[in-house]
């Protein structure tokens, strides 16, 4: 039986390195979403059930278009960071690297599609 301290067991296991950066990125994006989600609900909500032309006219105004675009961008950034941490915790080896790359590409594709749709309405 070996008597090792917690420090000796952790020696050589590597450091987290980017754990603090991930934590702060999640905190900042969650605070941004805390402000953006209610704004999005109050700008998007009144347009539910309205005719198509009224919705186009409403989202061609700057404030609703900016709120919707920022909500898409920050939500997908938050999603990307969260899924990356989740994959790092539960998937290992080559599957981990492939999964992270795929999820980053998916989140950026969703963000780009949403922002493009809002920009095409607003412009």
Confidence of residue 23 (pLDDT cuts 50, 70, 90): confident
Structural domain boundaries, residue 88: 19-122
Q: What is the mean pLDDT of residues 50-75?
A: 94
- How many domains does the chain divide into? 1
> If 0-12 CB within 10 Å is exposed, 13-18 middle and 19+ buried, where does residue 31 land?
exposed
Angstrom CA distances, 109 to 34, 82, 83, 94, stand at 23, 16, 15, 23
Write down the pLDDT at residue 21.
83
CATH classification at residue 29: 1.20.1300.10
Q: Has residue 2 been placed in a domain? A: no
More confident residue, 71 or 14: 71
Confidence of residue 16 (pLDDT cuts 50, 70, 90): low
Q: Indicate whether 1 pLDDT > 70.
A: no
Write down the pLDDT at residue 110.
96
Q: Has residue 101 been placed in a domain? A: yes
Average pLDDT of the chain? 89
CA 22 to chain CA centroid, Å, is: 12
Q: Has residue 75 been placed in a domain? A: yes
Would the CA dihedral through 82, 83, 86, 88 be positive or negative?
negative
> If 0-12 CB within 10 Å is exposed, 13-18 middle and 19+ buried, where does residue 17 land?
exposed
Q: Has residue 9 been placed in a domain? A: no
């Amino acid at each position: 039986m070996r008597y090792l301290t917690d420090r000796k067991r952790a020696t050589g296991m590597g450091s987290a390195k980017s754990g603090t950066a991930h934590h702060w990125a999640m905190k900042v994006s969650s605070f941004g979403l805390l402000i953006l989600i209610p704004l999005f609900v109050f700008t998007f909500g009144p347009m539910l059930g309205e005719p198509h032309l009224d919705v186009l006219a409403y989202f061609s105004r700057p404030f609703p278009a900016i709120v919707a675009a920022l909500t898409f961008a920050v939500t997908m950034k938050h999603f990307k960071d969260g899924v990356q941490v989740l994959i790092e915790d539960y998937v290992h080896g080559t599957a981990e690297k492939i999964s992270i790359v795929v999820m980053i590409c998916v989140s950026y594709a969703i963000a780009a599609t949403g922002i493009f749709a809002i920009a095409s309405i607003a412009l």
